[in-house]
Structure 1
Amino acid sequence: MKVVTTENIAGHKILEVKGPVFGLIVRSRGIGGDIMAGLKSLVGGEIKQYTVMLEDARKQALDRMIANASEMGANSIVMMRFDSGEIANNMSEIVAYGTAVVIEEL
């Protein structure tokens, strides 16, 4: 499945718009990650535990969005975006969203 952030896909024609699709995940940092991050924040630099957690969450949200589009009969997603937020003090929400379409090569 092609997933792009643009409105169109070069060399392809959109035949049908299936509609909006999304993939959502909420992840908790956990006490161990919070302790390590707290210590790292004292000296500065990247907090790798959070970087890894957010990279994994984005991948899972993307996979869920693609599965959603497949169930709708789409073969591509255009105008894909990520959004994120925080829930309570230790949870992060990641959503991948876009428009599911059916395309054909020109």
Structure 2
Amino acid sequence: MMIVTTEQVAGYDITEVIGYVKGSTIQTKHVGRDITAGLKSLVGGEIQGYNEMMTEARKLAMHRMVEEAKSKGANAVVAMRMQSAAVMAGAAEIIVYGTAVKIEKKETLA
């Protein structure tokens, strides 16, 4: 599955626009991560536990979007965007969305 943030894919023609697809997840903080984050806030630096949590959340949201696109018969997603938001204290949502399309390699004139 090709995923791009652009509206077109270089070297390919969009043969069919299927429509909007998305994937999302809401992740919460782990008590152990909260304790580590609290200590880290005293000395500064990257909070590795939260970084890992958000990396996994992005992967899961992307996977869900790809699965939706595949189920609709797409072989690419164009204009992909990713957003995050705080849902409540201690929870964040990641949403990935774009337009599912069918693409074909452009014919080259020789």
| TM-score exceeds 0.5 | yes
Deviation at 1:35, TM superposition (A): 0.9
Quote the residue 1:92 is aligned against.
92
Displacement of 1:64 after TM fit? 0.4
Cα shift at 1:47: 0.4
Q: Which residue of 2 aligns with 1:40?
A: 40
Larger Rg: 2
Q: Using the alignment, how far apart are the partners of 2:25 and 2:14 within structure 1? A: 29
Total equivalences in the alignment: 106
Structure 2: distance between partners of 1:81 and 1:9: 15
What amino acid is aligned across from residue 2 of structure 2 in structure 1? K
Provide, for residues 25-81 of structure 1, a one-character-per-residue CA deviation record: whole Å limited to 9, x for no partner.
Answer: 001112111111010011000000011100110011000000000011100000001
TM-score by length of 2: 0.94
Percent identity over the alignment is 49
Matches within 5 A, 1:1-106: 1-106=1-106
4+ runs of 1 displaced by more than 2 Å?
none
Post-superposition shift, 1:17? 0.5
Give the Cα–Cα distance (whole angstroms) in 2 for the partners of residues 61 and 75 of structure 1.
18
Partners of 2:65 and 2:8 lie apart in 1 by 18
Identify unmatched segments of 5+ residues in structure 2: none
